[in-house]
Structure 1
Amino acid sequence: MRWFVFIILGWCCTVLQTMLFVPRLLALRPFHADLRPDLFVLMALLVALVARGEEAFIAGWVIGMVADLTDPGSQRLGAMALMLALCSYAICRMRPVLVYERPATQIVLAAAMVLAVRPVQLMIVSWHSSAASVGFGLLVEQTLGDALYTAVLAWPFLWVTARLATHRGRLTERS
């Protein structure tokens, strides 16, 4: 994997995530839940679809650690890193049986990654905050909403980043 291209794409992803979705500029608020896509999950999915297994694990861990560090008020340092590393590695290992070039597969994989990562995040946050007002229904609603929002943005995000990676030099050394 070309780590320089990965760093550039990761930096762009971090800027977009922290500038557009964390301050709620493009976040949605139906039914009292803050719904926002997770571009870090999409970046980890991109890496999982093109890199080797150990590279996908390391890159997923790095992306997750950046996500943990840029999350305001984060009380779960390392949870996102571990979950994205494991999800990236799992998708990388499932790649031989997937038709991952198709947009529908990318959309389903993005939603599945959010559904694997987000409940762990929200449970840790609700456990640390010890707020009795955070109910299970709100956690489920936020998880499903984030998965849907991320899935909607999955194909355009992956298409644009794949074009940028191809233009600036392939993300991997393989041809």
Structure 2
Amino acid sequence: MDISIVINGETVTRDVEPRTLLVHFIRDTPGLTGTHWGCDTSNCGACVVLMDGKPLKSCTALAAMAVGHEIATVESLEKDGELDPIQQGFHECHALQCGFCTPGMLMTTRALLNENPDPTEDEIRVAISGAICRCTGYKNIVAATRWAAEHQEVSR
């Protein structure tokens, strides 16, 4: 079936099998390999993208379900060479180690900050509770999210 999905503001049209998962549609698009495919069970959260601004584990949705929606991947965060505050926060607070969960964590925390620009530590922990990080212990991810909240530009 032919489908068109708006990903990071660009319409991507491809012929796919009806059972194609959104994560595969995204990763098979040239240059969009930042969304990681991890556990195959929707437990890890490495595949989180934003659909209409809300976090979605892209391994739980068929690509066809994204038709008519706007998808944002981790590649959408950096604009004109400038890191998104959440990316900068992850850098400043050493919130990544192996990097596997990082794209999903970035998208999850970006969605949180879009919804709640000044979350508490508990609100951050609830927001990221659907993602697994095996390296950091989450402390630095929480710190990075707080850093980003304190350094967001009004325009974001």
Same topology, TM > 0.5: no
Structure with the bigger percentage of strand: 2
TM-score when scaled to structure 2? 0.32
Structure with more relative contact order (C-alpha pairs < 8 Å, separation 6 or more): 1
Structure with the bigger percentage of helix: 1
